[in-house]
Structure 1
Amino acid sequence: MAAGERLFVKVTRDSLPQVKDKYPFLYLERGRLEIDDSSIKWIDCDNNVVPLPVATLNALLLGPGTTITHDAVKTATAANCSVCWVGEDSLLFYAAGFLPTADTRNLKQQIELAADPEKSVEVAKRMFARRFPNAQLDGKSLKEMMGMEGHRVRALYKEKAEKYQVGWKGRKFVPGKFETSDITNRILTSSNAALYGILCSGVHSMGYSPHIGFIHSGSPLPFIYDLADLYKEHLCIDLAFMLTRDLAGRYNKQKVAAAFRERVIKMDFLARLADDINEVLGVKRARSSRK
Structure 2
Amino acid sequence: MPDDQASTGTRLLVKITRDSLPQVKDKYPFLYLERGRLEIDDSSVKWIDCDANVVRLPIATVNCLLLGPGTSVTHEAIKVMADSNCGICWVGEDSLLFYAGGQSPTADSRNMREQMRLAADPKKSLEVARRMFSRRFRDVDLTDKSLKEMMGMEGARVKSLYEEKAEMYGVGWKGRRYTPGVFELSDVTNKILTSCNAALYGILGSVVHSLGYSPHIGFIHSGSPLPFIYDLADLYKEDLCIDLAFSMTLEMGGEYERQKVAASFRQRVLALDLLGKVVQDIEDVLGVKNARRDSK
Q: Same fold (TM over 0.5)?
A: yes
TM-score by length of 2: 0.96
* Counterpart pick for 2:128 among 87, 104, 123: 123
Contact in 1 for aligned 2:6/2:15 (Cα 8 Å): no
One-letter amino acid matched to 1:62:
L
One-letter amino acid matched to 1:156:
L
> Deviations 1:214-262 (Å, cap 9, x if unpaired)?
0000100000000000000000000000111221211000001000000
The residue correspondences of 1:95-244 to structure 2 (distance < 5 A) are 95-244=100-249
Moved over 3 A (4+): none
Contact in 1 for aligned 2:59/2:81 (Cα 8 Å): yes
Counterpart position of 1:54: 59
The residue correspondences of 1:30-109 to structure 2 (distance < 5 A) are 30-109=35-114
**Structure 1 residue 99: deviation in Å?**
1.4
**Number of paired residues?**
290
> Deviations 1:144-183 (Å, cap 9, x if unpaired)?
0000000000000000001110110000010100001000
TM-score by length of 1: 0.98
Gaps of 5+ in 1: none
**Structure 1 residue 286: deviation in Å?**
2.4
**Structure 1 residue 278: deviation in Å?**
0.5
**Structure 1 residue 21: deviation in Å?**
2.0
Give the SS at the match of 1:217. Answer: coil
1:217 and 1:203 mapped to 2: Cα distance?
17
Gaps of 5+ in 2: none
% identical equivalent positions? 70
Contact in 1 for aligned 2:216/2:228 (Cα 8 Å): yes
Counterpart position of 1:286: 290
> Deviations 1:51-90 (Å, cap 9, x if unpaired)?
0001000000000000000000111111000000000000
Counterpart position of 2:282: 277
One-letter amino acid matched to 1:247:
M
**Structure 1 residue 18: deviation in Å?**
1.0
**Structure 1 residue 98: deviation in Å?**
2.1
**Structure 1 residue 2: deviation in Å?**
5.0
1:9 aligns with 2:14: yes
One-letter amino acid matched to 1:288:
R
2:260 and 2:284 mapped to 1: Cα distance?
33
